[in-house]
């Protein structure tokens, strides 16, 4: 009688195993990569949350995504952030670099563009300022045009003043020499026609005023007090 009871109990146990649902089977405990079972065999497998990953079968916990990479929901492995983006870890997506900064692939942070360069948002590298412009500080989002009477080469951090007898409009890449018969002071945006009048001498005679003439507040030469310009003698003479 006792043996018969034991045999019947064993039969019922076998039937119970055979009739277990898929979510109750032992295989369910072995969750596939990208998923996890936080509780028991009777619980379904759950995809790893965004910012986490799981490369193995049957794990009870997902791993936080490392910096420089991202892990969408259900990730098996981390994915490297593309150039122009970054992540500081546990990220479900990478963040674009702000304007004035840049990054290589797999970056955990963005770097500022050096002076003389600039960038838009999401840049993988910085761009040199074109000739005629400049960027005097790091992290620039655009370049500034050179002022009139100045010029710059590509990648400039400042603009150079035009030398005497040359000129340049605003945003010029180079200064242009004054035509024959004209001259200019350093930093000029245009040239003046040279003649024998004293106010053009300072611009046309090696930047020096003629005898008995002084430079005024406008940078021109004028005859000194008690002197007038003599057309015949072509110089300043006493009254």
Instruction: Report phi then psi at 47, rounded to 5.
Output: -60, 145
Neighbouring CB atoms inside 10 A of 47's CB total 17
**Listed residue (45, 47, 10, 49) closest to 28, CA to CA:** 45
Token pair, residue 129, equals 């300022």
CATH of the domain at 155: 2.10.50
Token pair, residue 237, equals 């003479």
Neighbouring CB atoms inside 10 A of 179's CB total 9
Same domain? For 207 and 176 the reply is no
Token pair, residue 22, equals 């898929």
The average confidence (pLDDT) of the chain is 86
Same domain? For 143 and 177 the reply is yes
Kindly tell me if the per-residue pLDDT of 67 is higher than 60: yes
Q: pTM for the whole thing?
A: 0.71
CA dist 104 to 88, 134, 173, 180, Å? 14, 24, 31, 53
Same domain? For 173 and 205 the reply is no
Same domain? For 135 and 179 the reply is yes
* Triad 149, 156, 117: Cα angle to 5°: 135
Q: Does the residue 231 lie in any domain?
A: yes
Token pair, residue 162, equals 């035009």
Same domain? For 180 and 157 the reply is yes
End-to-end CA distance of the chain: 151
Residue 41: partners with Cβ closer than 8 Å, 6 or more residues away:
24, 25, 26, 28, 29
Q: Does the residue 52 lie in any domain?
A: no
Confidence category of residue 30, pLDDT binned at 50, 70, 90: confident
Q: Cα separation of 109 and 112, whole Å?
A: 10
Percent share of the chain, pLDDT over 90: 57
Confidence category of residue 208, pLDDT binned at 50, 70, 90: confident
SS3 assignment, position 2: helix
Kindly tell me if the per-residue pLDDT of 23 is higher than 50: no
Q: Does the residue 151 lie in any domain?
A: yes
Same domain? For 177 and 212 the reply is no
Q: What is the DSSP letter of 75?
A: B
pLDDT digits (tens, 9 = 90+) for 139-170: 999 999 999 999 999 999 999 999 989 999 99
Q: Cα separation of 58 and 96, whole Å?
A: 35
Confidence category of residue 136, pLDDT binned at 50, 70, 90: very high
Same domain? For 134 and 182 the reply is yes
Same domain? For 133 and 156 the reply is yes
By residue range, what is the domain housing residue 177? 129-192
Kindly tell me if the per-residue pLDDT of 209 is higher than 80: yes
Same domain? For 143 and 185 the reply is yes
Residue 178: partners with Cβ closer than 8 Å, 6 or more residues away:
165, 166, 167, 184, 191
What is the total count of domains within the chain? Answer: 2
Q: Does the residue 230 lie in any domain?
A: yes
Same domain? For 228 and 206 the reply is yes
Q: Cα separation of 158 and 162, whole Å?
A: 13
């Amino acid at each position: 009688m006792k043996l018969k009871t034991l045999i019947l109990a064993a039969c019922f146990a076998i039937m119970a195993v055979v009739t277990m649902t898929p979510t109750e089977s032992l295989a369910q405990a072995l969750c596939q990569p990208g998923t996890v079972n936080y509780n028991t065999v009777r619980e379904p497998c759950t995809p790893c949350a965004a910012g986490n990953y799981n490369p193995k079968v049957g794990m009870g916990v997902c791993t936080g995504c490392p910096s420089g990479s991202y892990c969408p929901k259900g990730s098996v492995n981390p994915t490297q952030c593309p150039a122009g983006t970054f992540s500081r870890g546990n990220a479900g997506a990478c963040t674009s670099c702000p304007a004035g900064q840049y990054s290589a692939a797999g970056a955990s942070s963005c770097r500022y563009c050096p002076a003389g360069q600039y960038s838009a948002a999401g840049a993988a590298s910085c761009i040199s300022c074109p000739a005629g412009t400049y960027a005097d500080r790091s992290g620039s989002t655009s370049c500034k045009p050179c002022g009139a009477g100045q010029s710059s080469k590509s990648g400039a951090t400042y603009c150079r003043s035009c030398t005497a007898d040359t000129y340049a409009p605003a945003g010029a890449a180079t200064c242009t020499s004054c035509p024959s018969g004209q001259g200019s002071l350093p930093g000029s945006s245009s040239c003046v026609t040279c003649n024998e009048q004293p106010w053009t001498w300072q611009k046309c005679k090696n930047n020096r005023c003629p005898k008995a003439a002084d430079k005024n507040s406008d940078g021109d030469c004028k005859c000194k007090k008690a002197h007038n310009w003599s057309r015949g003698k072509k110089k300043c003479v006493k009254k």
